[in-house]
Structure formats: C-alpha cells, structure tokens
Homo-oligomer: A and B are copies of this chain.
C-alpha cells in the first residue's frame, strides 16, 4: 500500500480534488535571457492561482533521474516508482481497455515486413495505415493454440497489444524485436526458470501466427516486446478512500489510471475544454479528478517551444470551466520535464502549483514558472508526496498521534 501511515488517518468528506497534469510541463532556459514555455505563455489564470496559492517543485523519481510516463504518473498518484513497476505490455493493454489479470501476460507488438529469408526489412511494415493494418491484426487475433486464450488488439496503425491468458504463465521473456533490420525476429526464451511454460506457448503461438501472415503483401511479420503481467497495484480507492476519475485523451494515461482502479471517463469533446467540460459533467460522481493534457510533452519532444507555450495558453483559457466548479484543491503540475531545448523527457524538477482557497498558505510568488516555483512555499519535494498534500488540503487526513 502506498504510504501506509496515511491509512489510519484517512477520513471522507465532500471535498473535490483536481490533479491537472500537463505532461512534460517543466522546461529549461539555459541562459538568464531565455524563456521557458511557461514563461513564454500568457497565463493570467494560472498566475492568479499562483499569487493566491503556493508554489513548489517536485523531483519525479530521484535527483537526476529522467522518468518514463508510467513511473512519473505512479509517483504523482503516490506509488513509490522504484517499488511499483508497470511493465510496458501491461500498461499498453490497460490503455486500450484490454483486461490483463494477474497471471496473464501482455506484450506490445509491431507489424513488420520480412524478406524471403525471414529477415526483417522494415520494423514497422512501412508504417502501414490504420485501415490497412486492422485486418492483419484481426488475423492475428484469430490465431489460437491449445491451453491458453489469446487476444490481439490494434492500438494505432501498425501497433498492437497481445494478451495471453492461461495457468502458470510468467512474463520473464525476452523481446522478439532485435531493434535492427537484416536479421530475423529473435526467438522467445524464458529469462527465469518459472517462465519456461510461457516461453513454449508463446513460441508455439508465434509460429502459427507467422504462418497466418505469410501471404500478406507488406505486413507479413510482427515483433513483440515488453512482456509483462498485471502489476497488482493497490487501488487508489483503498489507498486514499477517494472515488477517482481519469480524464485523458491518450491510451497510456488511461492505462495507468485503470491499473490503480480509477474510472476512465468518456470525453465530451477534444482538448482542454473538452476535458474540463467532462469534469463538469461528472463533477458530482467522483471525489478526485486526474486530468491529463498530453500535448505539452509532444511539443516539448518536437523542440517546439512556441507550440508548447500555446498548449499551456489553451489550458489557461479553459481553466475558468474548472474553477467554476469550485474544487477544494486544485493542483497544476507536470509528470516530468520535457524541455523543448532537449527534445526529450528530463530529470529537471517539475513546477507545482497548489491552490486550495480554504487551506493553502499563500507564499511570496506571484506567477507560475519554473524559476518562481523553485522559490515557492512548498520547496523542492518528491512527486510521490503529491497525494499526501492533496488529501491534507482537502481536510481528508486526521491528526497523527495525540
């Protein structure tokens, strides 16, 4: 259980908590003159919240560690990311609503192109379209072998997820993707003695499935990676006595939310406005709303500082929808930094804004940016403390000790 000392302190009330995560929000300026995306963006709403509330900055995993999206979100949800590890296959399956139960094994797949000698000539089957890939992936879904149930579902274009359900399956298997062309896919081998059965069944399925695709013109093969089973995470509701909802556009964030037992809501529309309107629609149904904005990260990875700032501005313009709902606690932060300068996730601290009008301690900072957050009233702290702060400011934690 994350933070077992919280358990005896939890108490329910009518409060509403919103955790608004702008993916990869943190940015860097490498000179005093440069601006980060947050500094570049015009954010009158967030600046007002910063002035009224309190700022800080989080360390997502540990100092110097660049997180993937999975561990970064687990940390925000209060799950110590070095302790709770979600395999990529399980995360992907959860993201497309393909159930993975303890004992199942899941993996991510790519359709690929094999030459006449069975060697990989294109690891993504020429980036075959959604429409062209769909029937090929349906062929894979029909391949069954005795003793297990296999499900294969398209994620997007040439990408799919496979889940094998049976008895005594352990997921310690190597990827079949050699990460290069000109060689055949690797054979699945058990990486632990307990995984021999799963390895044998997976080899049997792969052999049959490869035959099933033999006549395909482009996508006549496939590569598997990230074998994993359900990580068995304690539920968010058990951990915090919160009925939690996830509002996200991208599968991966729905996936990690589902793995902690959040209800994933259908969006009423696209973008920040659509997500905030979804919160408005479901406001009475839940205590806690995790709202995920993807494109700050995407534009950060593209190195497009202006577009990243633009997404932040779009969120800022839509914020009144959320504020009208009068959340008791509103946290605006990122899961990690994705500096446009670096075009990748990074280890830098993440700006954090806490606004809880009944309970926050106003600090000296008056606008929302990385440099202001570094001087904020919450200091520099581990992201995994986010939920403790949220619960406290929602008055959902009793006194510890007498």
Interface residues of A (CB under 8 A from B): 3, 5-6, 9, 28-32, 34, 36, 51-52, 57, 61-72, 81-82, 85-86, 88, 91, 226, 339, 342, 344-349, 357-364, 366, 370-372, 374-381, 385, 387-393, 397-402
Contacts and interface: CB of A to CB of B under 8 A. Distances in A.
A374 B371 contact: no
Contact of A30 (B63, B67, B358, B401): B358
Most chain B Cβ neighbours within 10 Å, of A30, A52, A361, A376: A361
Given A63-B381, A81-B401, A374-B376, A52 B31 contact: yes
A259 to B, nearest CB: 13
Contact of A64 (B29, B32, B66, B389): B389
Given A31-B52, A70-B402, A379-B374, A397 B88 contact: no
B342 A402 contact: no
Contacts of A389: 63-64, 347
Given A347-B392, A374-B379, A376-B374, A400 B68 contact: yes
A110 to B, nearest CB: 15
17 contacts: A5-B82, A28-B360, A30-B359, A30-B361, A34-B362, A63-B389, A63-B392, A65-B392, A66-B392, A68-B400, A68-B402, A70-B401, A81-B400, A347-B389, A361-B370, A364-B375, A374-B376
B345 A399 contact: yes
A380 B34 CA distance: 24
Given A359-B342, A379-B379, A66 B398 contact: yes
B379 A349 contact: yes
Nearest to A56: B380
A159 B162 CA distance: 67
Contacts of A348: 361
Which of A81, A344, A371 has the most C-beta atoms of chain B within 10 angstroms of its own C-beta?
A371
A29 B397 contact: no
